[in-house]
């Protein structure tokens, strides 16, 4: 455990990159998906 | 950065990738976010997507990928002995009863002579109709195709703008393309689209829709119709090349529905615009108040086909439920329309707006001056005419002048001519016009082998001064049931008149280019 802690301390990019990138990517996917879900299939749909 | 940092960065990126893959695997294990095929996102615009796919039942059949929320996909079984008719177009076409067309044809022939399938899809303009049309030619082996399209050119282009803004524009293009193939993206879309409510705009939100073309000039309008002409022509040619017979239809539109967009040329003198608008404003103040209903300025105040069915929407309920027979004085039709029921059934499901509209239509029809004196309405007529001398190509003012001239008893022909001109000059019409129909007539006359079904003219011949109005239309472009059935009969008549012998089982491909 100590060795792992020491490794992470001396190699911050190894954990910093996923810590920053994962929320950004998930957030971006969420934003795009939300926008997609709000885009209509068709602006005018009549069912008569 | 030292080499050590680069290695750390790569390890960090690899861990990021593993976490994202982990999310995907977890969603897969939970059965969430299944990735649909490409047609799901294209909404009909992608030439490389397949909108007709093989279907298991019955074996050898094909099914549409229209992805319409409330309408089932159309399954076309393997072709049997009967010659096959396919219909193409937008929502009006989708409302044509091809079963009824088969019955009409069978009745005339004495036995079932044709099979007919409806490939109309609400909202589709000529660009998307063309894609499904070309794919259908490839796989469905039609003998006759019937094209009824032209109302939706601006509906389709406006929608395309929405899609560009939402998905394909700028920086989002590439991320979106990648994201669409992930379960995470699809799980979120499915979560927020549950029940489908979020995807459908209500009329109250449509004002923005009409703002898209608020500044369009008439020259730009013409460009859209050139594209329409090209699409129609290329569909006809593609069919004829394959030996498929083509019926090209003119489209029926509501002359009494106010134009959608009226603009001045870019270089028009603002002082003249001000004078023009001043004259219009004064004129409109001299018209009976009830006419406001027929001259809506906001989209939500227009009458829409969906206003005839309040079943699944929280809409304004009428204070008193009138039946259609409570409305007296609708103009009488003659000819083949005489036997048809002109108005929509089930008045109990109408929105209150329908009653307001019908009331205003009938008052206008009987030249009710309401709270105004005849002198004031005559002055309004003069002022509108004056305004139109400043700029004669203003669709809305032409329409207003037409209503005014009818009120003061001018000839029906002059009123009809103004209404036609107003429709022709509309900058962003969501309905057909004589300009659209002239394109159809021209393409039909210039493309050997295409049979013209001049449906709009047939309707005009049945109605006073050729004015197709609210009796037959539920809104600016949609026909009511009686009108749609009448059109189905006219289409069947065009098929019989030209290719009656097809039903007898002759060489189905022979004679296609001769028009017989």
3-state helix/strand/coil string of B383-399? HHHHHHHHCCCCHHHHH
**Separation CA B233–CA B230 (nearest Å):** 5
Mutate to test the interface with A, among B188, B203, B207 (most CBs of A within 10 A): B188
* Residue B274 sits in the same domain as residue B177: no
Residue A45 domain flag: no
Residue B48 has what pLDDT?
A: 83
**Separation CA B369–CA B232 (nearest Å):** 44
First to last CA, chain A: 69
Residue B171, domain extent = 53-257+430-501
**Separation CA B76–CA B58 (nearest Å):** 9
How many domains are contained in chain B?
2
Those residues with Cβ within 8 angstroms of residue B33's Cβ, 6 or more apart along the chain or in another chain: B27, B182, B183, B184, B185, B186, B187, B188, B190
Q: Do B293 and B463 contact (CB within 8 A), yes or no?
A: no
Kindly provide the residue ranges of all beta strands, DSSP E only, lying in B84-143, ordered along the sequence: 84-89, 115-118
Strand partners for B55: B61
Residue A24, domain extent = 13-37
Mutate to test the interface with B, among A11, A44, A45 (most CBs of B within 10 A): A44
Residue A33 domain flag: yes
Residue B301 has what pLDDT?
A: 86
How many domains are contained in chain A?
1
End residue of a domain, out of B425, B443, B469: B425
Find the CATH number of the domain harbouring B407: 1.25.40
Q: Which residues in chain A (5-34) have CB-CB distances under 8 A to chain B?
A: 11-18, 21-22, 25-26, 28-30, 32-34
Residue B317 domain flag: no
Nearest to B433 by CA among B299, B255, B261, B304: B255
What crossing angle do the helices spanning B412-425 and B395-407 adopt, rounded to 10°? 160
**Separation CA B450–CA B244 (nearest Å):** 10
* Residue B461 sits in the same domain as residue B393: no
* Residue B383 sits in the same domain as residue B487: no
What are the per-10-residue average pLDDT scores of chain B (516 residues)? 88 96 96 81 83 91 85 92 95 93 92 92 93 97 97 87 68 85 92 57 60 84 95 98 97 96 92 97 97 90 81 53 61 86 69 87 93 95 98 97 97 97 95 96 96 98 94 90 92 94 60 41
Residue B1 has what pLDDT?
A: 73
* Residue B89 sits in the same domain as residue B191: yes
CA-based radius of gyration for chain B = 26
Residue B323 domain flag: no
- Residue that the structure tokens 């009938």 belong to: B362
Q: Which residues in chain B (386-415) have CB-CB distances under 8 A to chain A?
A: none
SS3 state at B86:
strand
Those residues with Cβ within 8 angstroms of residue B263's Cβ, 6 or more apart along the chain or in another chain: B214, B215, B216, B217, B218, B427
| A13:B9 CB<8 A | yes
Residue B308 has what pLDDT?
A: 80
Complex confidence, ipTM: 0.88
Residue B4 has what pLDDT?
A: 85
Residue B458 has what pLDDT?
A: 97
User: Is B69 touching A (CB cutoff 8 A)?
Assistant: yes
CA nearest to A46 within chain B:
B306
CA quadruple B51, B56, B58, B59: dihedral sign: positive
Q: Which of A18, A34, A46 sits opposite B15 (nearest CB)?
A: A18
Residue B224 has what pLDDT?
A: 94
**Residue B27, token pair as written in the block:** 């969603």
Q: Which of A13, A22, A46 sits opposite B19 (nearest CB)?
A: A22
* Residue B145 sits in the same domain as residue B226: yes
SS3 state at B408:
coil
């Amino acid at each position: 455990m100590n060795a792992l802690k020491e490794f992470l301390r001396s190699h911050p990019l190894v954990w910093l990159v996923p810590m920053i990138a994962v929320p950004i990517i998930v957030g971006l996917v969420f934003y795009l998906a939300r926008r997609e879900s709000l885009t209509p299939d068709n602006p005018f749909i009549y069912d008569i | 950065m030292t080499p050590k940092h680069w290695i750390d960065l790569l390890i960090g990126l690899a861990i990021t990738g593993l976490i994202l893959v982990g999310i995907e695997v977890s969603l897969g294990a939970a059965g969430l976010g299944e990735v649909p095929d490409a047609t799901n996102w294209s909404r009909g615009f992608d030439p490389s997507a397949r909108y007709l796919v093989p279907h298991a039942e019955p074996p050898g059949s094909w099914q549409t990928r229209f992805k319409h929320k409330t309408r089932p996909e159309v399954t076309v079984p393997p072709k049997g002995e009967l010659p096959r008719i396919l219909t193409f177009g937008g929502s009006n076409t989708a409302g044509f009863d091809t079963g009824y067309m088969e019955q009409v044809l069978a009745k005339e022939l004495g036995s079932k002579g044709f099979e007919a399938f409806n490939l109309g899809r609400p909202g589709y303009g000529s660009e998307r109709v063309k894609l499904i049309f070309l794919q259908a030619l490839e796989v469905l082996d039609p003998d006759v195709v019937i094209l009824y399209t032209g109302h939706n050119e601006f509906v389709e282009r406006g929608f395309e703008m929405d899609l560009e803004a939402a998905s394909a524009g700028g920086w989002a293009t590439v991320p979106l393309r990648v994201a669409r193939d992930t379960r995470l993206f699809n799980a979120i879309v499915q979560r927020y689209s549950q029940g489908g409510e979020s995807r459908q705009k209500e009329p109250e939100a449509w004002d923005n829709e009409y703002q898209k073309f608020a500044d369009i000039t008439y020259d730009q309008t013409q460009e859209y119709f050139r594209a329409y002409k090209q699409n129609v022509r290329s569909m006809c040619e593609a069919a004829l090349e394959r030996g498929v017979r083509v019926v090209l239809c003119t489209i029926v539109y509501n002359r009494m529905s106010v134009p959608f967009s009226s603009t001045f040329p870019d270089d028009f003198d603002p002082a003249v615009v001000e004078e023009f608008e001043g004259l219009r404003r004064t004129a409109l103040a001299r018209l009976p108040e009830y006419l406001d209903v027929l001259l809506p300025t906001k989209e939500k105040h227009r009458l829409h086909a969906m206003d005839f069915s309040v079943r699944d929407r929280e809409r304004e309920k009428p204070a008193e439920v009138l039946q259609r027979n409570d409305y007296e004085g609708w103009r009488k039709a003659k000819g083949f329309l005489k036997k048809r029921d002109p108005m929509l059934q089930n008045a109990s499901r109408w929105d209150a707006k329908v009653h307001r509209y019908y009331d205003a239509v009938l008052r206008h029809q009987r030249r009710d001056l309401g709270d105004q004196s005849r002198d004031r309405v005559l002055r309004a007529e003069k002022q509108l005419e004056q305004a139109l001398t400043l700029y004669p190509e203003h669709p809305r003012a032409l329409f207003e002048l037409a209503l005014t001239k009818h009120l003061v008893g001018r000839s029906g022909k002059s009123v009809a001519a103004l209404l036609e001109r107003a429709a022709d000059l509309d900058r962003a019409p969501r309905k057909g016009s004589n300009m659209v129909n002239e394109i159809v007539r021209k393409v039909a006359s210039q493309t050997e082998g295409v049979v013209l079904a001049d449906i709009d003219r047939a309707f005009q011949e049945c109605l006073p001064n050729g004015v197709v109005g609210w009796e037959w239309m539920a809104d600016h472009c949609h026909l009511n049931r009686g009108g749609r059935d009448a059109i189905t009969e006219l289409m069947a008549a065009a098929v019989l008149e030209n290719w009656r012998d097809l039903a007898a089982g002759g060489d189905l491909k022979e004679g296609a280019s001769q028009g017989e």
